[in-house]
Structure 1
Amino acid sequence: MSTAPPAPRVIAVVGPTAAGKSDLGVFLAQRLGGEIVNADSMQLYRGMDIGTAKLTSEERSGVPHHLLDIWDVTITASVAEYQRLARARIDALLAEGRWPILVGGSGLYVRGAVDNLEFPGTDPEVRARLEEELTLRGSGALHTRLSAADPEAAHAILPSNGRRIVRALEVIEITGRPFTANLPGHDSFYDTVQIGVDVSRPELDERITRRVDRMWDAGLVDEVRALEAQGLREGRTASRALGYQQVLAALSGECTEDEARAETVRATKRFARRQDSWFRRDPRVHWLKGGVADHAELPELALSFVERPVTA
């Protein structure tokens, strides 16, 4: 019997924001001969660097990163389009004998890339009516309606995310079924190993607070101001990104910068809990502790889950 090197598979590094996914992804790519495929919906946007904690060129350590900076901030995000782009890149890497390392906390984007997920069509009349209602009544009112129609979807979607709320209500109206019922079971499109980075809530909250402080110190307000000149306010997706939404409110005089900063921390903590809840529902995720006490062991432990030699 001889042992052959493991054939490349898709690795998905998932979990809540600020857990340490990006650094782990770079480590795995370096050790396995892989490349990163971004699965953070907001890192798809050009110029949204500080507020999305996008790795700098130095932090990428020479590892190629794909699907970063591909959309202008005025473009409305499409999971179906992301799926097309992500699978094309994953297929190309596998064909080259490279390991695709999918990294990000956008749960639907991860599933769109690696699972058998088909997206219901759209109805222009239904969409236009819901978007008009969103403009007139606000996202909170529509989120309340979604809570009644599909509590699971409402739990997964932030009340401020009008675009996703409209889409969920549209799917419900078109299909006559809850939005979550249109999501498939845990049926993989690729042979995928999913690694979840688990950080205790108190430590994660502290990390989020420090990260927001660093973003402000690094010039997030100036970044938002520059993107505003490029049409950020008109972007239905980008304008609602955490941090960017709050800074836009401050620039409009709706709140002070300090209030925007504090609200960014609060909103990010809420979002991290939703991310954690989303990924916890997937029994295929191998959860590894990523706290300070576990930091040294995490990379090698993650590697052990994906280096499964094939015995011939």
Structure 2
Amino acid sequence: MPHRPSTSANPIVAIVGPTASGKTSLSLDLAEALGGEVVNTDSMQVYRGMDIGTAKLPPAERRGIPHHLLDTLDVREPATVAQFQAWARAAIADIRGRDATPVLVGGSALYTRAILDRFEFPGTDGDVRARYEAELEEVGPEVLHARLRALDPAAAERIEPENGRRIVRALEVIELSGAPFSARLPVQEYDDPATVQIGVEIERDVLEERIRERVRTMFDAGLLDETERLLANGLAEGRTASRAIGYPQAVAVLAGEMDVAEAQERTVIATRRFARRQMAWWKNDPRITWVRYDDPDRVARALAVVRDQRT
């Protein structure tokens, strides 16, 4: 059944921007000012126990603001974009039904776009999917990513070379539809017109230092111990959770395949690459109002955009 936009006066407010740019603090400030509730749009923060590696905000730091779609899945359970879209839209409808304002925040750009924009998911074929998954197991994601780049450079630019699951999905859709996978991605048309996007703008060199500091903090705070606990709970079998940046590097340290310094550097590189791919989603979206990460008036500016939407 098609999604029916809410008639609530409260807009949907989404905070976007690269990882480590300060989206979380801005989301809390806006939720406080608007009487809102936060909806997580990070594909990995839905997993219980994945706290340090996903920079999940501890409950004590959530300022008493209700948060949705955090800690809802076991690490063994897969999660698709289609599922996440349904969960998030249900949470948004529930929040607005209580006359509160949903404030979306998270680092998964595709998930955010799938929630906000008109996007119907293409079909699937179990045999085709199984064939590509078997090939993925045999040759690895880089080979399939190279094939995707030859078939659909725009899709390859948005999908990480390590993300075998999304590469398989893109190749499946291309084979079934005969059209580029990128043509099936969300278009810039809000599913509900009462939607506002606020982007957090930050210089690349500042962002890289913040990423390095975040990675150091993760390892110092016990990422290795957290990963060991998650492995005992089935992390290695989780098709979605096991891909979260930082955990494969921590697994390699635990297995004696690299030292902590190398794991940190590889995590920084992967995070930096992820941030670039995030910005590829947002840089050409004229609907986003950008505020600087260090602007003392960023909350006031963001609130002005929200209030303009209401009038």
Secondary structure in 1 aligned to 2:199? strand
Q: Deviations over 1:124-179 (max 9, x none)?
A: 00110101011000000000001111111111111111111111111111111111
Structure 2 CA distance for aligned equivalents of residues 105 and 209 of structure 1 = 17
The answer for the alignment partner of 1:105 in structure 2 is 107
Q: Is contact 2:114–2:186 with CA below 8 Å preserved after alignment?
A: no
Letter in 1 for 2:302: A
Q: Deviations over 1:181-212 (max 9, x none)?
A: 01242111112100010110000000000000
- 1:73 maps to which of 68, 72, 75: 75
- 1:154 maps to which of 141, 153, 156: 156
Structure 1 CA distance for aligned equivalents of residues 135 and 91 of structure 2 = 38
Structure 2 CA distance for aligned equivalents of residues 239 and 147 of structure 1 = 24
- 1:204 maps to which of 199, 202, 207: 207
Structure 2 CA distance for aligned equivalents of residues 232 and 195 of structure 1 = 34
Structural mapping, 1:34-183, within 5 Å: 34-183=36-185
Structure 2 CA distance for aligned equivalents of residues 142 and 70 of structure 1 = 31
Secondary structure in 2 aligned to 1:13? strand
Structure 1 CA distance for aligned equivalents of residues 230 and 137 of structure 2 = 23
The answer for the alignment partner of 2:25 in structure 1 is 23
Letter in 2 for 1:159: P
Structure 1 CA distance for aligned equivalents of residues 139 and 237 of structure 2 = 18
Structure 1 CA distance for aligned equivalents of residues 74 and 88 of structure 2 = 18
Secondary structure in 1 aligned to 2:60? coil
Secondary structure in 2 aligned to 1:42? coil
CA drift of 1:310 comes to 5.4
| Alignment of 1:304 onto 2:304 | yes
Structure 1 CA distance for aligned equivalents of residues 300 and 58 of structure 2 = 24
Structure 1 CA distance for aligned equivalents of residues 310 and 26 of structure 2 = 24
Structure 2 CA distance for aligned equivalents of residues 309 and 72 of structure 1 = 38
Q: Deviations over 1:232-253 (max 9, x none)?
A: 0111111111001111122222
CA drift of 1:309 comes to 7.4
How many residues of Structure 1 are paired with residues of Structure 2 in the alignment?
Answer: 303
Letter in 1 for 2:233: Q
Alignment CA distance shift 1:161-1:184 (3 Å): closer
Letter in 2 for 1:282: D
- 1:226 maps to which of 225, 229, 234: 229
Letter in 2 for 1:238: A
CA drift of 1:302 comes to 1.2
Secondary structure in 2 aligned to 1:43? coil
CA drift of 1:285 comes to 1.1
Letter in 2 for 1:249: A
Secondary structure in 2 aligned to 1:77? coil
Q: Is contact 2:34–2:101 with CA below 8 Å preserved after alignment?
A: yes
Q: Is contact 2:44–2:241 with CA below 8 Å preserved after alignment?
A: yes
Alignment CA distance shift 1:309-1:164 (3 Å): closer
CA drift of 1:47 comes to 0.6
Aligned-residue CA RMSD (Å): 1.3
The answer for the alignment partner of 2:287 in structure 1 is 284
| Alignment of 1:267 onto 2:275 | no
Structure 2 CA distance for aligned equivalents of residues 17 and 39 of structure 1 = 12
Secondary structure in 2 aligned to 1:12? strand
Larger mean CA deviation between 297-306 and 145-154 belongs to 297-306
Q: Scaled by the length of structure 2, what TM-score is found?
A: 0.95
Letter in 1 for 2:286: P
Gaps of 5+ in 2: 1-7
- 2:251 maps to which of 248, 253, 257: 248
Q: Is contact 2:11–2:309 with CA below 8 Å preserved after alignment?
A: no
Moved over 2 A (4+): 308-311
Q: Scaled by the length of structure 1, what TM-score is found?
A: 0.94
The answer for the alignment partner of 2:4 in structure 1 is none
Structure 2 CA distance for aligned equivalents of residues 21 and 269 of structure 1 = 16
The answer for the alignment partner of 1:3 in structure 2 is none
